[in-house]
Amino acid sequence: MLELTGKKEHLSLPEQNAWRKENSAPSLQDVHKSVPVPNKVGFFRKLLAFAGPGYLVAVGYMDPGNWATSLAGGSMYNYTLLSVILLSNIMAIVLQALAAKLGIVTGRDLAQACRDHFSKPVSFFLWIICELAIAACDLAEVVGSAIALNLLFGLPLIYGVCLTAFDILLILLLQNKGFRYMEAIVIALISTIAGCFAVELFLSKPEMSSIIQGFIPSSSLISNPSMLYIALGILGATVMPHNLYLHSSIVQTRKYEDTPAGKRTAIKFSTLDSTVALTLALFVNAGILILAASTFYKTGHTSVASIQDAYLLLNPLIGSGIASVLFAVALLASGQNSTLTGTLAGQIVMEGFLNIRLQPWLRRLITRLIAIVPAVIVTLLYGEKGTGDLLILSQVILSLQLSFAVIPLVMFTGDKKKMGEFVNPLWLKSISWFIAILIACLNVFLLWGTFFL
């Protein structure tokens, strides 16, 4: 687990004047400090109290967009892109830990921190591109859920896309029950996804030696433009920009002591929570790619990039009638899970950047309509192939937006005036800036290869 608190006990707490203004309300005011944290209990009781936000964050790392990019990567390039999934997951663990730290120490989510630091034009620009990223992610959820409904029940894609607009009712019900209920539902759905893929991998019998070799980076990742495009799609699908805003907010649902010791404890257990959850996400993401490589690439089906093709081929290639059903059930659970966290992320971003508060059902409906309109158009014009291409494109959009969330996060958590004794130590600053610069360089390379090569 990363130690993120720094070591010098005598340093001051964050200076209030390091931020330009005070926020009028805490992040997610309705559930702020709503989950009690017992004080005089053992390690595992304390861990259980903090467990939950990390799994809400991990949902975004195994959404339907991951499926499209991992299926394409596994069927086309065998196990080669496993190294990209591993690298992305390591970066995600570091960045999500920083996001949690920012929220716990400053009492601000990342959107509020940006609004309190940058000028209004810059904040507005950051809000716009973040909304685009959320819309791209929501688009993946819409298409993924519609495909799952089509595979399981034969529901036409266009009807499935429209039906996803009504999942706001489920979200409203969970929000009224309390934040712990939402976390419980999310963890149950994640367990369903992981269980389905565990069975799938057992049935597909992948080669362990090839899997281990796949986790070692290959020079072909840079030399092959097509592979790089898929690799950046995996990066965009794994390190989710809006999850940084989400995590910095939902860690504040815990009622930890507002003291240096209380904050250190909160950072420790929140980091452990997200690290364990993202390790589970690594298993799911790697499992999808391994399934595609061991089932499709091995049998010469190297053009399987769509979820629908994968569903149809799994049963005959694996030799089990349950393979395709498990695949579709996991996909549906993935889409619905991402729906829950997408609502919260949209609410946090709008309230944080603009200080505008909307009713949850209205915010969700707006987000859903933004995603549904292009999904309906593409489904009507291009059918199944179009939806698959749309999934991969949505993940590349997420990757391109990532730097605009990562750089402010790294900058804020490395600022002693803003973080006080919790400022990132030198080693963590170095790693964080390396990740931020790497992401920015890869995205510039992607743009250059897309438009000029």
Give 130-147 pLDDT, tens digit per residue: 888 777 777 777 777 888
pLDDT at 212: 92
- Would you say residue 86 has pLDDT above 80? yes
The pLDDT-based confidence of 238 (bands split at 50, 70, 90) is low
pLDDT at 111: 95
Helix H, strand E, coil C: the string for 133-145 is: HHHHHHHHHHHHH
Element (H, E) at 255: strand 254-255
pLDDT at 170: 66
pLDDT at 167: 67
Written as six digits, the tokens of 168 are 């706001």
* Bridge partners, residue 299, by sequence: none
3-state SS assignment for residue 254: strand
pLDDT at 11: 44
In terms of pLDDT, which residue wins out, 341 or 150? Answer: 150
Q: Which whole number is the average pLDDT over 211-232?
A: 82
In terms of pLDDT, which residue wins out, 52 or 331? Answer: 52
pLDDT digits (tens, 9 = 90+) for 16-37: 667 776 656 888 888 889 999 9
pLDDT at 6: 47
- Would you say residue 353 has pLDDT above 80? yes
Percentage with pLDDT > 90 across the chain: 30
Asked which of 354-358, 405-409, 435-439 is least confident by mean pLDDT, the reply is: 354-358
Q: Which whole number is the average pLDDT over 364-376?
A: 70
What residues contact 153, with CB distance under 8 A and at least 6 apart? none
Q: Which whole number is the average pLDDT over 344-353?
A: 85
Please state the separation of Cα 443 from the chain's center in Å: 18
Q: Which long-range contacts (CB under 8 A, 24 or more apart) does 41-46 make?
A: 46/265, 46/269
The pLDDT-based confidence of 233 (bands split at 50, 70, 90) is low
- Would you say residue 54 has pLDDT above 90? yes
Alpha carbons 134 and 131: distance in angstroms, whole number: 5
Q: Write down all domains in the chain, each with its CATH number in brackets.
A: 34-452 (1.20.1740.10)
pLDDT at 441: 81
pLDDT at 39: 83
Q: What are phi and psi of 356, to 5 degrees?
A: -110, 130
pLDDT at 156: 87
In terms of pLDDT, which residue wins out, 16 or 448? Answer: 448
pLDDT digits (tens, 9 = 90+) for 379-426: 777 766 666 666 666 666 776 788 899 999 999 999 999 999 999 999
pLDDT digits (tens, 9 = 90+) for 282-311: 988 898 889 888 888 888 877 775 677 777
Place of tokens 């819409």: 142
Predicted model pTM: 0.86
Q: Which whole number is the average pLDDT over 111-115?
A: 94
Percentage with pLDDT > 70 across the chain: 83
DSSP conformation letters of 184-228: HHHHHHHHHHHHHHHHHHHHH---HHHHHHHTS--THHHH-HHHH
- State the chain's mean pLDDT as an integer: 82
Task: Tell which residue, 422, 364, 440, 375, has the closest CA to residue 134.
Answer: 364
pLDDT at 248: 96
